[in-house]
Amino acid sequence: MAALRDREEEEEEEVRETNELLQELRVLLPGVQVLFAFLLTVPFAQRFPELAAYQEDVYFAALLSTALSTACLTAPSTHHRLLWRQHARSRRLRMANALSIVGSVFLAVGINCVVFLVADFIYGVTLAALATTAATGTFLTLWYLLPLGIRWSR
Least confident of 39-43, 50-54, 124-128: 39-43
Confidence grade of residue 147 (pLDDT, cut at 50, 70, 90): very high
Contact 99, 77 (CB under 8 A): no
Report pTM: 0.84
From CA 66, how far away is CA 49, in angstroms rounded? Answer: 22
pLDDT of residue 46: 85
pLDDT of residue 30: 83
Domain that holds residue 118: 2-153
**139 pLDDT more than 90:** yes
Domain count, the chain: 1
pLDDT of residue 97: 92
pLDDT of residue 42: 85
The pLDDT > 70 percentage for the chain reads: 95
Amino acid at 75: A
Main-chain dihedrals φ then ψ at residue 87, nearest 5 degrees: 60, 45
Contact 96, 84 (CB under 8 A): no
Rounded (5°) CA angle 75-69-51? 150
- The predicted-structure confidence for 66-105, as pLDDT tens digits, reads as follows 999 999 999 988 888 888 778 878 888 899 999 999 999 9
In terms of phi and psi (left: phi > 0; alpha: psi -120 to 50; beta: otherwise), the region of 124 is left
From CA 2, how far away is CA 10, in angstroms rounded? Answer: 12
